[in-house]
Amino acid sequence: MGLHEGHRSDRRLAVNPLLTDADPLGALETAPPVHRLPDGPMPPPMAYRLVHDELLLDGNARLNLATFVTTWMEPQATALMAECAEKNMIDKDEYPQTAELERRCVAILADLWNAPDPRTAVGCSTTGSSEACMLGGLALKRRWMREPRNAGRYAAGARPNLVMGINVQVCWEKFCNFWEIEPRMVPMEGERYHLDGERAAALCDENTIGVVAILGSTMDGSYEPVPEICAALDALQERTGLDIPVHVDGASGAMVAPFLDPDLRWDFRQPRVASINTSGHKYGLVYPGVGWALWRDKDALPEELVFKVNYLGGQMPTFALNFSRPGAEVVAQYYNFLRLGHDGYRAVQQAARHVAGHLADRIEATGSFRLLTRGDELPVFAFTTRDEVKNFDVFDVSRRLRERGWQLPAYTFPANREDLAVLRVVCRNGFSMDLADLLLNDLDRLLVELRRQPGPMGEHGVENRSAFHH
Ligand SMILES: *Cc1c(COP(=O)(O)O)cnc(C)c1O
């Protein structure tokens, strides 16, 4: 999608005559090409207007119930980010205080996720969970290869594998593809839409570098049972001696569960959990792109993956795929931690869960839909049409809501539930009870029309299918 072919055309941008400072006729001579660098410069206000106006076509992010990513921050956070626009995260020497704020964020997360000793937990910021998952996966692979027995088998052609549910986010398929790991995916079965302990353990063998547990699933917002998965792997170790570490992909849930489900032991309280990632730009409440990767201790992150950069005349260890990277999002993350504190985060996430629960109840009450989840884990739920609904399907609902500006993706589940198509709602900070009620009103109005359709309209809704990966 973002991988564009370098195509050329003679298309030109049209410039409104009023955009030229003094002479409206001047604009008629200015028609910058679209796919070529213009021959000369133009005044900054004109360039600003052209880009600004073109972006009006982007959707209204507040009505987007497809994405997990933050679409609103406070003006003070926005101001801080603008002040930090030039700061390069890798340049620890030039921006030591930004580096210090990153370190504080890692310490705060290590404490929040109950690292046995937050002072010895290691971690870093990333561009998002995808990069953080790559780093987590790489550490698992190196840990596995560090064992002399495994290194020997690897040299003899054994292929390391990673065990996960088929509901994993696409970044784990990427990880396996890029780093040549065999993905071992547990399919969905019946009413089980994510990984469980028994199936995870059943797929492990001596070439398994780890198990990924998701908190929570992007498909339906459910938490995977991390304690149960760890217990099943404990039992496996007792039976076979295999000691399989767990990485928790907490892209969303690692910033929800600590505040709303403090008794759920999904984090470093499980000795088997080696590493955790989260997206600062999801329920961490920061604009894109910031993520975090943490390891329970130095042992969990093989030394040879760590590189040193200059820092105040000394050397500072770093672990990242990128080199240069903006510092503003890290600063904004620290702002949120300071601004909200534990109680503030709890209030924000509680409000999102409250709205999700309300919406789920009301959608169920229309009589046309069956809920798969209720928004009581992640503030996210999935639902489908009831069996007796024959006049329309989830793709019709998605398409018709889109006409009103709402984005609710509809998509088909993976194996072995390809027969099941769902709609998903992601409730985020900024999606208020008032907006939820507007959505419900629109849905009620639409249902009157949809129930009169002769039958589902078919493929037209398919355009939205890929949107749920966000
Ligand atoms: C969003 C998400 C990712 C990818 O995160 P980015 O921050 O968008 O790179 C990975 N895993 C899960 C479970 C997610 O929800």
Evaluate if residue 143 carries a pLDDT over 90.
yes
pLDDT at res. 2:
61
How far does residue 50's CA lie from ligand 1's centre (Å)?
Answer: 33
The DSSP symbol for 385 reads E
How far does residue 169's CA lie from ligand 1's centre (Å)?
Answer: 6
Band (pLDDT 50/70/90 cuts) for residue 26 is: low
How far does residue 251's CA lie from ligand 1's centre (Å)?
Answer: 5
pLDDT at res. 459:
56
Q: How far apart are CA 347 and CA 365, in angstroms?
A: 27
169 Cβ below 6 A of ligand 1: yes
329 Cβ below 6 A of ligand 1: no
List all residues 6 or more positions away from 132 whose beta carbon is below 8 Å from its beta carbon.
126, 277, 278, 279, 291, 292, 293
Q: How far apart are CA 258 and CA 108, in angstroms?
A: 12
| Contact predicate 210/245, CB 8 Å | yes
Please tell me the residue having the least CA distance from ligand 1 atom 5. Answer: 129
- What is the third-level CATH fold of 351-469? Aspartate Aminotransferase, domain 1 (3.90.1150)
- What is the number of other CB atoms lying within 10 angstroms of the CB of residue 196? 16
Nearest to 168 by CA among 192, 143, 205, 195: 195
Nearest to 219 by CA among 365, 426, 1: 426
Q: Average of pLDDT values for 147-162?
A: 95
pLDDT at res. 28:
61
User: Read out DSSP for 317-366?
Assistant: EE--S-SS-BSHHHHHHHHHHHHHHHHHHHHHHHHHHHHHHHHHHHHHHT
pLDDT at res. 1:
43
Question: Can you give the pTM of this predicted structure?
Answer: 0.93
Q: How far apart are CA 300 and CA 355, in angstroms?
A: 38
213 Cβ below 6 A of ligand 1: no
Band (pLDDT 50/70/90 cuts) for residue 397 is: very high
| Contact predicate 249/129, CB 8 Å | yes
Nearest to 293 by CA among 261, 251, 330, 246: 251
Reported as a single tens digit per residue, the pLDDT across 72-98 is 999 999 999 999 999 999 888 889 999
Least-confidence region, from 94-98, 265-269, 307-311, 360-364: 307-311
How far does residue 192's CA lie from ligand 1's centre (Å)?
Answer: 21
Beta-sheet pairing, 246-249 with 273-279: parallel
Q: What are residue 248's DSSP bridge partners? A: 213, 276
Evaluate if residue 229 carries a pLDDT over 90.
yes
Band (pLDDT 50/70/90 cuts) for residue 59 is: confident
279 Cβ below 6 A of ligand 1: yes
Helix (H, G, I), strand (E, B) or coil at 62: helix
Share of the chain above pLDDT 90, in %: 77
| DSSP run (H or E) holding 199 | helix 197-202
Q: Where are the domains of the chain?
A: 78-337, 351-469
Q: What are residue 210's DSSP bridge partners? A: 162
- What is the number of other CB atoms lying within 10 angstroms of the CB of residue 362? 15
Q: How far apart are CA 166 and CA 185, in angstroms?
A: 5
Nearest to 258 by CA among 248, 267, 246: 267
pLDDT at res. 135:
97
Measure the CA angle with vertex 72, ends 71 and 76; round to 5°. 145
* Residue written as token pair 């009023």: 18
Q: Average of pLDDT values for 276-281?
A: 98
Q: What are residue 208's DSSP bridge partners? A: 161
Helix (H, G, I), strand (E, B) or coil at 316: strand
Measure the CA angle with vertex 423, ends 348 and 412; round to 5°. 130
Which among 69, 125, 279, 377 is the best mutation to test ligand 1's pocket, defined by most ligand atoms within 8 Å of the CB?
279
What six digits make up the tokens of 15? 């410039």
List all residues 6 or more positions away from 350 whose beta carbon is below 8 Å from its beta carbon.
259, 260
pLDDT at res. 31:
81
Dihedral of CA atoms 222, 246, 181, 179 in degrees, nearest 10, equals 100
pLDDT at res. 463:
43
Q: Average of pLDDT values for 364-387?
A: 98
Q: Average of pLDDT values for 137-145?
A: 97
Band (pLDDT 50/70/90 cuts) for residue 227 is: very high
> Average pLDDT over the chain, rounded to whole?
92
Band (pLDDT 50/70/90 cuts) for residue 42 is: confident
Q: For 78-337, give the CATH class.
A: alpha beta
222 Cβ below 6 A of ligand 1: no
377 Cβ below 6 A of ligand 1: no
Tell whether the torsion through CA atoms of 456, 462, 464 and 468 is positive or negative: positive
User: Is the model more confident about 284 or about 34?
Assistant: 284
pLDDT at res. 469:
46
Least-confidence region, from 299-313, 345-359, 436-450: 299-313
| Contact predicate 370/360, CB 8 Å | no
Residue 69 Cα: closest atom of ligand 1: 8
Q: How far apart are CA 465 and CA 124, in angstroms?
A: 33
Please state at what angle helix 394-403 crosses helix 433-450, rounded to 10 degrees: 120
Residue 282 Cα: closest atom of ligand 1: 7
Residue 222, amino acid? S
What six digits make up the tokens of 339? 């601004």
252 Cβ below 6 A of ligand 1: yes
Beta-sheet pairing, 314-318 with 307-311: antiparallel
